[in-house]
Structure 1
Amino acid sequence: MKVNIFDVARKSGLSVVTVSRVLNNVSSVREKNRQKVLEAIKELNYSPNSAARTLVRGKTGVIGLTLTALNDTVFDSVVKSVFESLKLSGYFLALSIDSEPVNGFSEASNFLFQEDRVDGIIVLSSLEEEAYIAELERKRIPFVMIDSHGEHSNVTTVNVDNYLGGYEATKHLIALGHTRIAHITGQSVFLSARQRKEGFMDAMNEAGLSPFMIIEGGFGTNCGYGLMQDMIARGNIPSAIFAADDVIALGVIRALKEAGYNVPDDVSVIGYDDQSFAQEVHPALTTIRQPADLMGQHAVKILLDMINGSEVSHTRVQLKPELVYRKSTSKYKGDISQG
């Protein structure tokens, strides 16, 4: 038998009116009741009649999401979270993968950025965000940015506190007794890279330490591998390295292993993101986890509030990252820089 809204109401112990309000993302519903309804929907595998609700709303029932690539497991998790959250609210998700933007837009994004195609847009970590902001505002399409690269005071954003992440990563290494700590950053064009570097610097300054080395790299395995090879060739090796993302850290560890160094006994390495491979590599990678699920959930809730006419005045959500302590960092065991 097909599950209906009355079944959801009975399962949640709430009224049909409350269930309806949750399905239509009415902001006045208490968070506790909203969660009860969402749990009941999930347990019953209830799917609202999207076509009928679209006619009632006078909307397309589609939310667009634009991103650069799907080869990052954190972004993959964000997309999945957005999809699941939209599904619970009876919306469909349309993806635009902007691998080759031309004049600020890819063909896929240009297709989505039409008033009659989607009810709203989620922009995920796009380097073309200035052009996107201008176009979406011009067309009056509601939008939310996740992992923005600029500090936009007049745009609704959902970001992770990358400053705190960089600070906590560095404090972790300092607490293990390390003083010769290097930082390999991402490209400075990324707000996240700049903020992680600021967190690193402040943690070092608070401890009365000077950075052993700060090198601007790129978010990629070859970057970490090549930069670590250069340090090894010069015989100038720190006791610990904070890499701006897990992929850089992976390259660092590979170079150290090939040169005969042990991680973490000789050099401790911490990454950032908690990519899916982080706990599978050897040694398992200590890292800073980004709350991908929460990023997607917050973005959807805010965007649907906008679409339904709630007052959302340039909300700026900043989520806390989490230190995940694994096997690639350990207590300082002595200076191996001349080894």
Structure 2
Amino acid sequence: MDKKTKPPTIADVAALAGVSAQTVSNFLTGRFKPRGQNLQRLEAAISELGYRPSAAARALRLKQSGMIAMLLEDGADLSQERMREGWEPLHGMFLYGATNRARELGYYVTPVLTRQGTAEMEAIRLVREGRADALICSTELMPEAQLERLQRIARTEKVPIALLQENRKRDFICGVAAADEDGGDQAAAHLAALGHRRVAIMTVKPSWPGPVRRRAGFEAAAARLGLSVEVWQAEHYTVEAVRQRTAPELLREDRPTAVFAVNDVIAVALIQLAIELRLDVPNDLSVLGFNDLDVAAYVRPALTTLRTPGAAMGARAVEVLVDAISGKPLASTALLPVEFVPRESTGPTSRA
């Protein structure tokens, strides 16, 4: 019986490419990319030998799992229909960007769905059981005490943590966020440029970090621009909660001429309700959203919004964590720009 061919090793790749084994290792983990002929020889050697990195070998050598756990907090009640309560629509974008970038850097991302308020305890369990080399958390706005406990976990266990949508600075924790305040500022400036003077912001009781900062940016810019702002706050991030809160406002003769919604789901619910009440969007009411979810381009009228770089945020979180795992200093914050996307749901006001 023929013996099975032994799989190629890093040493085999290094010998064929004429480089050091450390150079091969650094290339495979994304810490360093050779240039010129060295890169060409290295890629050719990997291809010729059919080399595939061994996650198990790396884990034993470095005492690492090769896994990054991604905690996704979901406020939904599992007894109800999925997506009706609390599910953060950006979770999918974050996960897509994180998993793709992690694979490129030789890691895997494991999604962990957590219940509301349980992310801290789940993080402790994952770290102490050695199930992850680093953590990414997409959670509701953490109280300061909870954030401090999470910081202690990162420090004592030497496991770096990236918090998505957060920009509060903490040692051993990196906040990876979109420029939500700037997005709110752009929204207010857009409505002011269209002649709107009485506007509303449609939000939900403070829960997710991004919408909280969007509102702050919008209100600060509105004050600077001389806009009169009403705050419409629903109890939950659900279509029904938004409809209940806004129906009385839309029926008012003196209603605002434009509404800035802190996410696209709220904005779409608002547009549909306005149409049902025989209001013309945008002639009777301009509506502006945030995130640029897929639905934004297909609702009618198409939604003017601000694009959150969700996939890029997930990828960036992985990058800073892999750097930290390899011994580099953990960045305190990473702020990614948002992009204004003009469509058909906003226009010049027809009312004074």
Whether TM exceeds 0.5 here: the answer is yes
**Alignment coverage as a number of residue pairs:** 316
User: In structure 2, the residue corresponding to 1:105 is in which secondary structure?
Assistant: helix
Paired-residue identity, %: 28
Aligned partners of 2:243, 2:101: CA distance in 1, in Å? 38
- Give the stretch that moved more between structures: 189-198 or 260-269: 189-198
Alpha-carbon distance in 1 for matches of 2:51, 2:348:
51
Equivalent of 2:58, from 53, 56, 64? 53
Aligned match of 1:219: 237
Alpha-carbon offset, residue 102 of structure 1: 5.3
Partner of 2:287: helix, strand, or coil?
Answer: strand
> In the superposition, relative to structure 1, how do residues 248 and 48 fare at CA in structure 2: closer, same or farther (>3 Å)?
same
Aligned match of 1:124: 138
- The one-letter code sitting in structure 1 at the alignment partner of 2:113 is I
User: Cα offset for 1:114?
Assistant: 2.1
Distance 2:281 2:33 in 1: 51
Larger radius of gyration: 2
Report the AA paired with residue 93 of structure 1.
V
The 1:57/1:135 distance shift into structure 2, 3 A limit, reads closer
Q: 2:155 aligns with which of 137, 145, 148?
A: 137
> Contact between 1:166 and 1:197, CA under 8 Å: does it hold in 2?
yes
Counterpart residue number, 1:326: 343
Q: Would the aligned equivalents of 2:264 and 2:292 in 1 still touch at CA under 8 Å?
A: yes
Displacement after TM superposition at 1:276 (Å): 2.2
Deviations 1:55-81 (A, max 9, x none): 333311111110113844422011011
Deviates more, 1:67-76 or 1:16-25: 16-25
Aligned with residue 286 of structure 1, among 304, 308, 313: 304
Displacement of 1:159 after TM fit? Answer: 0.8
Q: 1:195-234 alignment to 2 at 5 Å?
A: 195-211=213-229, 213-217=230-234, 218-234=236-252
Corresponding residue number in structure 2 for 1:157: 175
- The CA deviation string for residues 198-248 of structure 1, in whole angstroms up to 9 with x for no partner, is 21122222222322x122334332233222201134433111100111111
Is 1:99 equivalent to 2:115 in the alignment?
yes
In 1: Cα distance, 2:51 partner to 2:181 partner:
40
SS at match of 1:277: helix
Amino acid at match of 1:253: I
**Inter-partner Cα distance in structure 1 for 2:215 and 2:89:** 22
Question: What secondary structure sits across from 2:223 in the alignment?
Answer: helix
**Do structure 1's residue 24 and structure 2's residue 29 form an aligned pair?**
yes
Alignment correspondent of 2:4: none
Check whether the contact 1:228–1:256 (CA below 8 A) recurs between aligned residues: no
8 Å CA contact retained: 1:122, 1:144: yes
Measure, in 2, the Cα distance between the counterparts of 1:306 and 1:110.
Answer: 19
The alignment status of 1:300 with 2:309, answered yes or no, reads no
**1:309 Cα deviation (Å)?**
0.9
TM-score computed with the length of structure 1 as normaliser = 0.81
What is the match of residue 63 of structure 1?
Answer: 68
1:196-275 correspondence runs (5 A): 196-211=214-229, 213-217=230-234, 218-275=236-293
Q: CA distance change for structure 1 residues 296 and 319 in 2, over 3 Å: closer, same or farther?
A: same
Q: In structure 2, what is the Cα distance between the partners aligned to 1:329 and 1:248?
A: 15
Quote how far apart the aligned CAs of 1:174 are. Answer: 1.3
**219-228 or 303-312: bigger deviation:** 219-228
Give the drift of 1:310. Answer: 1.1
Residues 1:187 and 1:332: Cα distance change in structure 2 (over 3 Å): same
Kept after mapping to 1: 8 A contact 2:305/2:341: yes
In the alignment, is the contact (CA less than 8 A) between 2:124 and 2:153 conserved in 1? no
Contact kept, 8 Å, 2:101 with 2:318, in 1: the verdict is: yes
Per-residue deviation, 1:331: 2.0
The yes-or-no answer on 1:80 pairing with 2:96 is yes
Cα gap change, 1:19/1:228 in structure 2, threshold over 3 Å: closer, same or farther?
farther
Which secondary structure does the structure 2 equivalent of 1:122 belong to? strand
Which runs of no fewer than 5 residues in structure 2 stay unpaired? 1-6, 75-82
Residues 179, 19 of structure 1: CA spacing in aligned structure 2 closer, same or farther, 3 A cutoff?
farther
CA distance in structure 1 between the aligned counterparts of 2:21 and 2:154, rounded to whole angstroms: 36
What is the Cα deviation at residue 3 of structure 1? 11
